């Protein structure tokens, strides 16, 4: 069967269009990867080389301080880096750690096809930064080389999976040997219905079944060890899970909201006006319950979003102003408002986007009364 000239032309045009589209895709992908690779070279990020003989987390002053008496700058969505509008960090986790970051936060979801736990932003269809196991292996390799460092990992459980799913991945990664296990654990309280990665416009998912009452003595905030004790015992990785933790069955995965409360997240108002307790929810709490929550450590979510075509994305343009200590919308003003509202108590974590922009070292130094 012979093809007519018109049909031949159409087929040639279709093939040409497909080939051109593929070439454009490859050019864009290559350019983005190249730009992501060149960013840390062009924009030099100072590194904090760990001293293997003195100091804890880079500072001798920290060695005698208990874990809950140190304020840290944490990288929000640490696994999602690059130059795309949805990326929250400029450089990868290893570079974040090399620069001095010691608190990593990241979102996890289970992929639809492979069913593996992955570093997914909101959903794996939207942004998948790879398996959780690979992320943990990267952190483990860094810990292997830096014996005087204490790290904290805060993971979200976006799909409300059983904590055993996380336990399996931690075991496979080999990082478990560094995990901190408190001397006293308890079952976590019922979780808030709102997750960090829930779009505000969507209905809240059905929460998991309320866990049984604690079977052991709840952890006392005063029993946190010093950083030197954690380093000496080689329990140098503190792991928190926002929902689904069961310290009685997996004691090294700690329930976030047993130990912390958080301010509002996904804020789009540049001066961060609120320092109220956002999670766990206190809507139906008694005065005594709210007072008990106030006694916990707290996390200030100091990262700014902006709307582009109706979609909230990290505000990269104003990161320098947002991450600075001074000025409108800076960390200093936000923290100051929180301290005034909560009896002078300092936050123990300030989560930021694009940590390398705006002088995070000065901010952490001021929070802890030290100089870098």
Q: State how far the Cα of 47 lies from the Cα of 38, in Å rounded to an integer.
A: 17
Closest to 184 measured CA to CA, from 154, 222, 156: 222
Backbone angles phi, psi at 261, to 5 degrees: -125, 165
- Whether 76 is catalytic is yes
What residues have CB less than 8 Å from 324, skipping those under 6 apart? 330, 331, 358, 359, 363
106 alpha-carbon distance from chain centroid:
4
Catalytic-role residue among 43, 44, 59, 76: 76
Catalytic-role residue among 44, 59, 109, 121: 121
Is residue 145 within 8 A of residue 184, CB to CB? The reply is no
Q: What is the DSSP string of 181-226?
A: --SS--PPPPPPS--TTS-TTSPPPPPPPPPPPPSSPPPPGGGPPB
- Whether 121 is catalytic is yes
Instruction: Classify residue 181 by burial, with Cβ atoms within 10 Å: 0-12, 13-18, 19+.
Output: middle
Is residue 304 within 8 A of residue 313, CB to CB? The reply is no
Positions marked active-site: 76, 121
């Amino acid at each position: 069967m012979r093809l007519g000239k018109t049909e031949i032309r159409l087929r040639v045009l279709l093939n040409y269009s497909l080939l051109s589209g593929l070439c454009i895709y490859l050019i864009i992908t290559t350019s983005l990867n190249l730009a992501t690779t060149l960013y840390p070279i062009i924009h030099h990020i100072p590194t904090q080389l760990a001293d293997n003989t003195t100091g804890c987390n880079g500072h001798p002053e920290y060695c005698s301080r208990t874990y809950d008496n140190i304020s840290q700058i944490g990288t929000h969505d640490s696994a999602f880096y690059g130059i795309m509008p949805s990326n929250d960090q400029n450089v990868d986790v290893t570079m974040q750690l090399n620069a001095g970051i010691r608190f990593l936060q990241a979102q996890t979801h289970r992929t639809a096809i492979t069913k593996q736990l992955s570093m997914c932003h909101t959903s794996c269809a939207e942004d998948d930064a790879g398996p959780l196991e690979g992320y943990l292996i990267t952190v483990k390799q860094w810990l292997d080389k830096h014996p005087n460092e204490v790290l904290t990992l805060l993971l979200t459980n976006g799909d409300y999976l059983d904590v055993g799913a996380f336990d399996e991945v931690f075991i496979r990664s080999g990082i478990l040997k560094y995990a901190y296990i408190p001397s006293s654990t308890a079952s976590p309280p019922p979780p808030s219905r709102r997750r960090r990665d829930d779009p505000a416009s969507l209905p809240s998912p059905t929460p998991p079944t309320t866990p049984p009452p604690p079977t052991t003595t709840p952890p006392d905030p005063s029993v946190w060890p010093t950083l030197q004790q954690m380093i000496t015992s080689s329990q140098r990785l503190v792991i928190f899970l926002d929902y689904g933790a069961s310290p009685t069955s997996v004691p090294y995965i700690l329930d976030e909201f047993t130990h912390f409360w958080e301010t509002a997240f996904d804020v789009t108002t540049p001066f961060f006006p609120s320092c109220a307790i956002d999670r766990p929810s206190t809507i139906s709490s008694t005065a005594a319950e709210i007072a008990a929550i106030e006694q916990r450590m707290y996390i200030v979510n100091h990262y700014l979003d902006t709307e582009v075509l109706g979609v909230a994305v990290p505000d990269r343009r104003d990161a320098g102003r947002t991450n600075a200590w001074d000025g409108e919308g800076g960390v200093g003003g936000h923290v100051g408002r929180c301290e005034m509202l909560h009896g002078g108590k300092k936050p123990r974590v300030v989560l930021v986007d694009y940590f390398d922009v705006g002088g995070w070292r000065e901010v952490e130094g001021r929070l802890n009364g030290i100089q870098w």
